[in-house]
């Protein structure tokens, strides 16, 4: 989720009747949902779908629950954040603690996701050809 409307390549105005509650007990209303596309220098674009637009939000936040819903475990230990694909067992350090937040490196998340997708598609191909 982000408060920066300019980041969206596609944006659909939706009143989800949803508010995000933050650590300061503030409630922030979700006004839109859309897609953010990051152009990368030496790789295919990174496309994030179902990103929530929360106008008053000043940081870009990642939903841990959403990562878990997509088959990942997230763990935090000794100032580092780790992402593990549950069924494939692939693990990658994705971030470090900076003050009271974790700074996530998007490229590290993408590289793990790409590895998992390749392994899953290879397994499907092997099943198909047996």
User: What is residue 11's predicted lDDT score, i.e. its pLDDT?
Assistant: 92
Instruction: For residue 75, report the phi and psi dihedrals to the nearest 5 degrees.
Output: -135, 150
Cα 2 versus chain centre, distance:
12
pLDDT of 5 above 70: yes
pLDDT of 6 above 50: yes
Q: What is the pLDDT of residues 83-122, one digit of tens each?
A: 888 887 888 888 899 988 888 776 666 666 665 555 544 4
Taking the C-alpha atoms of residue 35 and residue 44, their distance in angstroms, rounded to an integer, is 16
Burial of 74 (0-12, 13-18, 19+ CB in 10 A): middle
Taking the C-alpha atoms of residue 98 and residue 127, their distance in angstroms, rounded to an integer, is 44
Q: What is the pLDDT of residues 11-65, one digit of tens each?
A: 998 777 888 888 788 888 899 999 988 776 666 777 788 888 999 888 888 888 8
């Amino acid at each position: 989720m982000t408060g920066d409307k300019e980041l969206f390549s596609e944006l659909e105005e939706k009143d989800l009747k949803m508010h995000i509650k933050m650590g300061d007990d503030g409630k922030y209303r979700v006004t839109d949902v859309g897609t953010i596309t990051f152009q990368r220098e030496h790789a295919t674009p990174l496309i994030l779908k179902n990103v929530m637009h929360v106008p008053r939000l000043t940081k870009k936040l990642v939903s841990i629950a959403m990562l878990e819903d997509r088959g990942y475990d997230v763990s935090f230990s000794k100032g580092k954040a780790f992402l593990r694909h549950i069924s494939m067992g692939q693990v990658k350090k994705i971030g470090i603690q900076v003050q009271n937040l974790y700074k996530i490196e998007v490229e590290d998340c993408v590289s793990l996701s790409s590895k998992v997708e390749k392994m899953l598609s290879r397994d499907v191909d092997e099943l198909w050809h047996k």
